[in-house]
Amino acid sequence: MNWYLAKLIFRIVCGQGNHTPQFDEQL
């Protein structure tokens, strides 16, 4: 699950919410 947390944090820092729809799709 480490890779998942890393990717999640990376996307949040990079997009700061712009990739929220993608989060819902992945979840």
**3 state SS for 1-27:** CHHHHHHHHHHHHHHCCCCHHHHHHHC
Encode the chain (27 residues) as per-residue pLDDT tens digits. 688 888 888 877 776 655 555 655 655
Residue 6, both tokens: 């890393």
Q: How confident is the model at residue 23, as a pLDDT?
A: 59
pLDDT of the residue at 10: 82
The pTM of the full predicted model, rounded to 2 decimals, is 0.40
Amino acid, single-letter form, for residue 25:
E
Residue 8: CB atoms within 10 A of its CB come to 14
